Structure 1
Amino acid sequence: MSPEPIPEGVEEGALLRANARQEATLGAKRNPQSIARRIKAAATAAGLKDQPAADGKPRVSKARQYIDALAEDKAKLTPPDGTKPISAFWTYGIEHPKAPKNEWGVPFLSQRFLAEEWAAQQNEANPGTAQTLETTRGGRELDAMFLWEDEVIEALGGEKAGFPEGYAKATWAKISETYAGLAEGRVFVFGQTADTRSILHQQELGMLRGNENVGLDNIHFVYEAPRSWPEVTRTEAGTNAVRAVAQFDNKDLPHYIDPQGFAADTPEARKAKIDSLLEGVAPTQAPAQAQPQAPAQAQAPAQAQPQAPARAQPQAPAQAQPQAPAVEADAQQATPKGPAAPLWQMGFQQPQTITRPKRSGPAPVAGSPGAPPLAPRPLATGMDGPA
């Protein structure tokens, strides 16, 4: 049975969160000095001081030192005593007509806000059962620094103060890695696959696979595999275990699976490829944890499903769709064996290419800021950086 579309309640709550974040970001861009003063005050309170340039080493401001320490502060990422939440991870997002527009004018809903709304609804019913990085103490503090905004980096002193280009993504990558290392039991991934340029692929999944309290068997993707894949690829390479190891966007990097080519292989070749991919990635017996229940029934909005190569058109309004998957309050229930079925379909169309406004001046080098992406990829924002 195919998963249902994203529940209406989660979708609506995520849109509210996305629009609130957009307003907060605009405020930070208008007054970046206030953000910088707050960060510097926190650094001063922590007893840090600017380190002047010496012996060929650049100056490192107290603000940079404070942020670096925050990204590795396990205490601020550890759940409160007496709770054992399911940790959610996310990557990229989906095009949504009611979402704020990104810098290319595309209405875009980050998976971050879907994950946060899902966690909020779980915690409303059963406190302490779900979390995302941005809902931890450390994640909230770093998120409130708006380091993705150039205006804030400039207000902090820019490269001269230890904030080079790419600092925001590097810092979020570090705190994401720390967060993944602290996860226990089943974890949820809000995304269909892990693009090789995402923090999910580069830091989080590897840490989760190697985390003895999580392991391969406890990594679960919330969404089914892309519907643009051939059915045999969806069935055999769209499992939680394969998607937690494989990548599907860059043939020049390890663990690559070509969805179309895979389907054209013989059954024996497909099995050998999967066996080789998972070889050495041993499943780990993780501690028992709260598990999702079967969704209850509710009304959901019309959804559009990805098709290749044309964009999907909205379907007729769906009837009797599920609410957000619930998490049981009893955290001591044994972890069920075998992979869990995906909870949702992706929902609105996730475009693989984006028409961007032309920039003046010389053409940028591939892979550099402003250049076309190296390969078709989903829309991105937040921790995964701009597409």
Structure 2
Amino acid sequence: MPVSTVIPDKVEALALKLATREAQSKAEARADPESVADRLKAEARDSGKSVHDYLLDFVKQSEGLTPPEGTTPTSAFWSFGLEHPEAPVNHRGEHILENRYIAEAWAQLQNEQQPGSVQTLETTKAGQHLNRMYLWEDQVRDLLTADDPRITWDFVRERWGDLSETYAKESIGQVVVFAETGHTLSILHNRESPALQANHSVGLDNIHFAFEAPQWWPEAARDELGTNAVRAVAQFDNPSREGYIDPAVYEASAPEVREAMLAKAMEHATPQQEAPVPEQDAPQQEAAAQEVPAAEGPVPSAPAAEAPAAEVPAPEAPAAEVPAAEGPVAEAETPEPEVPATETPEVSAPAAEVPAAEPPEANTPPPPLWQAGFNPKPSRAAHGSSGPSAVNPEGPTVGAELASRAAGNGMDGPA
């Protein structure tokens, strides 16, 4: 069933321009695949590696994903896309506006107001570079496969997954996900979300969805399963895999059964790692601060104090059985520690106003999503909110409603 969502007009218009520009670049790559393939082969030769090994190494490096010094941008993630009559036609003949371009448009508009405040994978140096290899284009990949049969479509997808996971590990503080859920076939669900949950600088509490839960879900399911935390952990399309919840079955169940289903799904949250404790100078010893007469002899050294380890609460995970439910089958995939590296903004806190006469600070966090035109519906469950406690009626006007749908092979990587 189609899903509807709303995005701001300015974001929608810019996303269409970005998508059209990228479609033109892909067409140029298809028209001259030899130049694209030769450029990649030359890079690999310069590194002393085969193209296969060069790509394996490239996607594990964090240098091209590290933000400019002095900035701590909000990292945006994406998956799937939206049906849109003005979007470029994909390889299946569908007009799909990938959520990539919605995320990039939002990031660009935020950076115009607060430079360095938002990034997406494809706007980082490493993401831009891998994108310009056009490995999703059959014409380019065929030329590479002729030299090395290991460079298949699946290999390319895994490399994008590797870079996406590295990007998630490098993220700091609040992150924004441009999707309605994490499909079990998606890099978002299998690679990015677990990495974000484990990231000591992010954790489950800092994952926020830009879109509401699917409109076709029953009301109680939208309210209780549509929270940020539940959508970051659970999945709703494959009953054969862990963490599955059928929204229709959930709606029809008694409250105690719902609670058990939700708890069972949340057992699969990835525990947040402890922040590394920085090296500290040896603590001053109390005895050294006191004057002791020389005649009484040397004072024995006090035992060194242990630095307390950062405390990471365990995720809520009471075990319970999930009732069997029908659904489509696809392929088989926490709070901030007390030693913070940066200060994470509250999602509900209003953005600081920057006077027009003064340049904005580069590392100022972007405004909450609902103030930028995204209005995810607040949810009532205990596992994290989908939005502010009350949607601001004075917020910006939102754009046209669009039907959401998986964008084929490009649901979370370039198509």
The Cα shift of 1:36 comes to: 1.1
The Cα shift of 1:45 comes to: 2.8
- Name the residue aligned to 2:402: 348
In 2, distance between residues paired with 1:379 and 1:4? Answer: 15
In 2, distance between residues paired with 1:280 and 1:63? Answer: 36
- Name the residue aligned to 2:335: 284
The Cα shift of 1:102 comes to: 1.5
In 2, distance between residues paired with 1:114 and 1:44? Answer: 36
The Cα shift of 1:4 comes to: 8.5
Deviates more, 1:123-132 or 1:277-286: 277-286
- Name the residue aligned to 1:12: 13
> What's the CA shift string for 1:273-314, capped at 9, x where partnerless?
21232247332216424567769xxxxxxxxxxxxxxxxxxx
Give the alignment partner of residue 140 of structure 1, picking from 117, 123, 128.
128
Distance verdict in 2 for CA 1:165–1:121, change over 3 Å:
closer
- Name the residue aligned to 2:168: 180
TM-score, normalisation: structure 2: 0.70
In 1, distance between residues paired with 2:40 and 2:167? Answer: 21
- Name the residue aligned to 1:44: 45
TM-score, normalisation: structure 1: 0.74
CA contact (8 A) 2:250 2:258 kept: yes
In 1, distance between residues paired with 2:162 and 2:363? Answer: 32
1:82-93 superposed matches below 5 A: 82-93=70-81
> What's the CA shift string for 1:294-352, capped at 9, x where partnerless?
69xxxxxxxxxxxxxxxxxxxxxxxxxxxxxxx9966489x9x963517989930125x
1:164 aligns with 2:152: yes
> What's the CA shift string for 1:239-277, capped at 9, x where partnerless?
101000000001111100101000001011111221232
Equivalent residues, number: 313
In 2, distance between residues paired with 1:216 and 1:36? Answer: 40
> What's the CA shift string for 1:14-47, capped at 9, x where partnerless?
000111111111111111111111112222333x
Give the alignment partner of residue 220 of structure 1, picking from 194, 205, 208.
208
Task: In structure 2, give the amino acid aligned to 1:150.
Answer: D
**Runs of 5+ in structure 1 lacking a partner?**
50-61, 296-326, 352-377
**SS of corresponding position for 2:75:** strand
1:18-37 superposed matches below 5 A: 18-37=19-38
Coordinate RMSD, CA, aligned? 2.8
- Name the residue aligned to 2:324: none
In 1, distance between residues paired with 2:71 and 2:361? Answer: 13
1:283-362 superposed matches below 5 A: 283-285=334-336, 287-289=342-344, 331=364, 339=385, 341=387, 347-351=401-405
CA contact (8 A) 1:153 1:163 kept: yes
Give the alignment partner of residue 226 of structure 2, picking from 238, 252, 266.
238
In 2, distance between residues paired with 1:165 and 1:12? Answer: 31
1:379 aligns with 2:407: yes
Q: Larger radius of gyration, structure 1 or 2?
A: 2
The Cα shift of 1:103 comes to: 2.2
In 1, distance between residues paired with 2:84 and 2:34? Answer: 32
Task: In structure 2, give the amino acid aligned to 1:341.
Answer: G
**Runs of 5+ in structure 2 lacking a partner?**
270-314, 316-333, 352-359, 369-382, 392-397
Q: Which has the higher contact order (CA 8 A, sep 6+)?
A: 2
CA contact (8 A) 1:100 1:107 kept: yes
CA contact (8 A) 1:110 1:381 kept: no
The Cα shift of 1:185 comes to: 0.6
Fraction of identical pairs, as percent: 42
1:73 aligns with 2:61: yes
Task: In structure 2, give the amino acid aligned to 1:18.
Answer: A
